[in-house]
Amino acid sequence: MHSNPNLSSSKNLSVATAPRKGWNINWINFGVDIVILLAFFVAYNAHLTGSSVHEWFSLAFGLMLLVHLLLHWRWVVSVTVKLLSKLPAMTRVGYVLNVLLLIDFGAILYSGLKMSREVVPALGGSISEGRTWHSLHEMTSTIAILLVIVHIALHWKWIVDMVRRRTMADIRSSAVSN
C-alpha cells in the first residue's frame, strides 16, 4: 500500500516527490514495513521460538499491521473512491492484493486468538478447543507467505529505491564528516 505516483497529492508524498533529507513518511513506512516483516517471520516460525513468543509476536504483528493501515489510510480511501473509475492496472492489482492480505491476516489473527494458550488467557479471555481453528490458522498462514511474496515483488522497486537512498545518504554523510 505504498504511495502511488498516479494517486499522489502534495499532502501524500510518493517516493518520486519525497524530500531527500531526514525522516519523511516514506522512511516511517519503510521502518514499519521492516518491523512487520521481522515480526511475521518470527511469528511464522513458531517451531523455532515456542508458542509464547509466537503468540506475543503475532499480537505485535497485528498491531503493526494496524499502524501500517493507518499510515496508508489516504491511499486506501483514494483508491477505494476511484475504484469504479479509471485507475492504472497496477494500482488495481495492488488494491486487490491488499484486500486479500487484510482478509488473510485477519483470519490468521482471529484463528490464532481462538486457540491462544498465552495471550488470550493473560488478557482474561477463554480459548476454543478443536482442530478447525488450527487447520484454518495453518492454511491462512501458508496463503500469507504467498501473498507477502507477491506484495514484496510488487513493491520491489520502491524497496530498492529506499535502500539505495539510505546507502547514498550514509555515503554522503560519511564523506562530509571526513
Tell me, yes or no, whether 11 lies in a domain. Answer: no
pLDDT in tens, 141-167: 999 999 999 999 999 998 999 888 877
Grid cell digits, residue 139: 492454511
8-22, 30-44, 63-77: which is most confident:
63-77
Give pTM, 2 decimals: 0.74
pLDDT in tens, 58-108: 888 888 889 889 988 998 999 999 988 888 989 999 999 999 999 999 999
The owner of cell 501524500 is 12
* Count of the separate structural domains present in the chain: 1
Tell me, yes or no, whether 70 lies in a domain. Answer: yes
The answer on pLDDT for 28 being more than 90 is no
